[in-house]
Amino acid sequence: MIEFKNVSKIYQTKSGRVPAVQDVSLKINTDEVFGIIGFSGAGKSTLVRMMNGLETPTSGELLIDGKSNDNLSKNQLREQRRKIGMIFQHFNLLWSRTVLENIMFPLELGKMSKAERVEKAKHLAELVGLSDRIDAYPAQLSGGQKQRVGIARALANDPAILISDEATSALDPQTTDEVLDLLASIKQKLRLTIVIITHEMHVIRRLADKVAVMEDGRVIEEGTVAKVFTHPEQELTRKFVNVETDTGPNEDVKPVIGELLQKYPEGQLLQLKFHGDQVKMPIVSEMLHQFPDLQLSILQGSVRQLQDSSGSIGSLFVQLVGSEEDIREALKFLNTMRVETEVYNHE
Amino acid sequence: MNNQGLSTYFKFSNVNWGNMWGATWETLWITVVSVVLVAIFGILLGLLLYETTGSNNLIVRGLNALVALFVNVFRSIPFIILIVLLLPVTQTLVGTQIGPKAALPSLIFSAAPFYARLVELAFHEVDGGVIEAAESMGANKWQLIYKVLIPESMPALTSGITVTAISLISYTAMAGAIGAGGLGQLAYTDGFQAYNNAITFTATIIIVLIVFAFQFLGDFAVRHLDKR
């Protein structure tokens, strides 16, 4: 377990004291995937770098499996670092080494025979799907392949913890998904705690069990991904979640909404939000059965799967046309089915 | 009085080829040995400059200032003055003030600080992210230097030593003029002082060829080393 207890980091610069991390307390359980989301400058990178001692807290305490990094000698700290793998936004591979040599790098730092190193690195290359490129140099690889090498390298010393520092931020969406799939499969195959820093909710949704939202060095919201996605409390969290779940009418839908509002002035434009199992239930069709006089047009819909399979989020934009009473009753029905509704009016 | 006319450049019958090859061999020998020694001292000095830059520790900062001062002073002294200035040092270090061996101390004192600056620059250009990655994997200082810093800056170190080697060739010629042997001495004594332009001309051509060869080797090595 990784425990941050009231951790702060303040940088002393010429222009004064700059707080990077302020009074952060977090618990990250063993074998959990923990996401930390926030914009750049929120203090995420500083926070996770305390785990391998690349940064030291100004105040507060960080315990990994009950032990603090503070009193470690330089040698002990290096030993500790070998148990924590890290992957980076810009991959940070050595251009002068081939794929295999890059993966072997962390193994060379310890005491392992050359034959063992080659054996292990080949195995890791296979794990990340790069067996056929082991003699290539990083410059010859695509971004996604480079990050695969980064992942293999980070896993070389069989770490207990893997830190991913914006590992997909330099990649295009499709490559991002490939890398996320790889991390997901690694999570399945190997037992390790993964700490992910990102500014993309997509990454959190795909991988994380728990998430903490950081702003200005503080953790402003924290909880299971399912909870934070369905009931975001802070404004910033809502922003991140909204980007991910289309909870506003998107640009394509807007003109249609305008037309429909004009064509059916008596109609009611609604956004329905479904959480968890509601996504799979025929709630809308049930509603139409109960109120057969209602007309319904579907404008836009989407379903997103959260990492833990209990969590799904559905969003549906519909227009209801009918008597005021029917519409009111229908809204009540949706309410009893615990579907959140949001009403859009003429602008 | 026969030091007149362009045709004197081409009176190759006046050239003692045995002496010429001997001098060429001496020049090559001094250059190669000094390049090797300058590379070693330059990398050590450059590393010292790199490692002591931007530290908060007062002693380390003092050391950096001292090394920087040493480098700047020796880089500024014109070579021809440096040789004369270092004559007593040379006498102490190699036991003589004439001959190829005697050229080495001043060559090294002059070129090593120059190369040290290039080395420091090359190290500073190594991607900080890669260094951080190596640190995060538990590399110690020594591993960081010989597994990351040096291999990742190899092309810059190589092109730097090529430039340094070429100025070393020109320095050896200068040293030759005051008795260090090699093509410089031959061109000065047998060429200039004996009014034998063909010898000066031939020595020049050989020096130019040596420079070209070093440049070619350096460029080739850089191309081969750079996998970016």
Number of alpha helices (DSSP H) and beta strands (DSSP E) in chain A: 12, 14
What's the rounded Cα separation, in Å, for the pair A268 and A271? 10
CB contact (8 A) between residue A157 and residue B143: no
**What pLDDT sits at residue A341?**
80
- What is the pTM (predicted TM-score) of this model? 0.79
CB contact (8 A) between residue A109 and residue B148: no
B189 DSSP 8-state letter: I
CB contact (8 A) between residue A78 and residue B139: yes
**What pLDDT sits at residue A242?**
75
Find, in chain A, the residue whose alpha carbon is nearest to that of B150.
Answer: A96
**What pLDDT sits at residue A324?**
82
| pLDDT tens figures, A194-245 | 999 999 888 998 899 999 999 999 999 999 988 888 888 888 888 888 776 6
Residues making up chain B, counted from first to last:
228
CB contact (8 A) between residue B137 and residue A97: no
Of the residues A95, A97, A163, the best mutation for testing chain B's interface (the one with the most B CB atoms within 10 Å of its CB) is A95
pLDDT band at B1 (very low <50, low <70, confident <90, very high): very low
ipTM comes to 0.85
Q: Indicate whether A61 and A190 sit together in one domain.
A: yes
**What pLDDT sits at residue A246?**
57
Q: Indicate whether A65 and A108 sit together in one domain.
A: yes
User: Rounded mean pLDDT of A92-107?
Assistant: 96
What's the rounded Cα separation, in Å, for the pair B137 and A219? 27
**What pLDDT sits at residue B6?**
84
CB contact (8 A) between residue A84 and residue B143: no
Find, in chain B, the residue whose alpha carbon is nearest to that of A106.
Answer: B137
Q: Indicate whether A239 and A265 sit together in one domain.
A: no
Q: Indicate whether A160 and A264 sit together in one domain.
A: no
Q: Indicate whether A264 and A212 sit together in one domain.
A: no
- Check if A106 contacts B (Cβ < 8 Å): yes
Q: Which tokens hold the place of A7? A: 């951790």
pLDDT band at B216 (very low <50, low <70, confident <90, very high): very high
**Pick from A225, A245, A265: which residue ends a domain?**
A245
CB contact (8 A) between residue B133 and residue A92: yes
| pLDDT tens figures, A68-86 | 888 888 889 998 899 999 9
| pLDDT tens figures, B99-130 | 888 889 999 999 999 999 999 999 999 999 99
User: Residue A23, Cβ neighbours under 10 Å: how many?
Assistant: 15
Split into its structural domains, chain A has a count of: 2
User: Residue A150, Cβ neighbours under 10 Å: how many?
Assistant: 27
Q: Indicate whether A205 and A68 sit together in one domain.
A: yes
Distance from CA of B227 to the nearest CA of A (A): 6
**What pLDDT sits at residue B4?**
66
Q: Which tokens hold the place of A293? A: 């006089």
CB contact (8 A) between residue A105 and residue B147: yes
**Pick from A220, A245, A270: which residue ends a domain?**
A245
Cβ-count burial A163-194 (b if 16+ within 10 Å, e if not): bbbbbbbebeeebbbbbbebbeebbeeeebbb
List A residues 67-96 in contact with B (Cβ-Cβ < 8 A). 74, 78-82, 84, 86, 88, 90, 92-96
What's the rounded Cα separation, in Å, for the pair B182 and B158? 25
- Check if A137 contacts B (Cβ < 8 Å): yes
Q: Indicate whether A169 and A298 sit together in one domain.
A: no
pLDDT band at B33 (very low <50, low <70, confident <90, very high): very high
Of the residues B136, B149, B222, the best mutation for testing chain A's interface (the one with the most A CB atoms within 10 Å of its CB) is B136
Q: Could you give all domains of chain B from N- to C-terminal order, each with its CATH number? A: 6-225 (1.10.3720.10)
Contacts of B228 in chain A (CB under 8 A): 95, 139
Q: Indicate whether A171 and A25 sit together in one domain.
A: yes
Q: Which of B133, B138, B154 sits opposite A82 (nearest CB)?
A: B138
CB contact (8 A) between residue A92 and residue B143: no
**Pick from A198, A213, A245: which residue ends a domain?**
A245
Q: Indicate whether A226 and A293 sit together in one domain.
A: no
Q: What is the CATH number of the domain that holds A98?
A: 3.40.50.300
Q: Indicate whether A201 and A323 sit together in one domain.
A: no
What's the rounded Cα separation, in Å, for the pair B161 and B217? 11
Q: Indicate whether A30 and A152 sit together in one domain.
A: yes
Burial (CB < 10 A; 0-12, 13-18, 19+), residue B59, is exposed
Contacts of A109 in chain B (CB under 8 A): 137-140, 143, 147
SS3 at position B57 = coil
Q: Indicate whether A241 and A257 sit together in one domain.
A: no
pLDDT band at A62 (very low <50, low <70, confident <90, very high): very high
Which residues, listed in sequence order, are joined to residue A317 by a DSSP beta bridge? A271, A300
Q: Which tokens hold the place of A290? A: 């109960």
Ordered strands of the A67-68 beta sheet: A16-28, A2-13, A59-64, A67-68
Q: What is the CATH number of the domain that holds A261?
A: 3.30.70.260
Contacts of B148 in chain A (CB under 8 A): 94
Residue B191 CA to its chain's centroid (Å): 25
| pLDDT tens figures, A115-168 | 999 999 999 999 999 999 999 999 999 999 999 999 999 999 999 999 999 999
What's the rounded Cα separation, in Å, for the pair A104 and A276? 44
Expressed as residue numbers, the domain containing A145 is 2-245
CB contact (8 A) between residue A86 and residue B136: yes
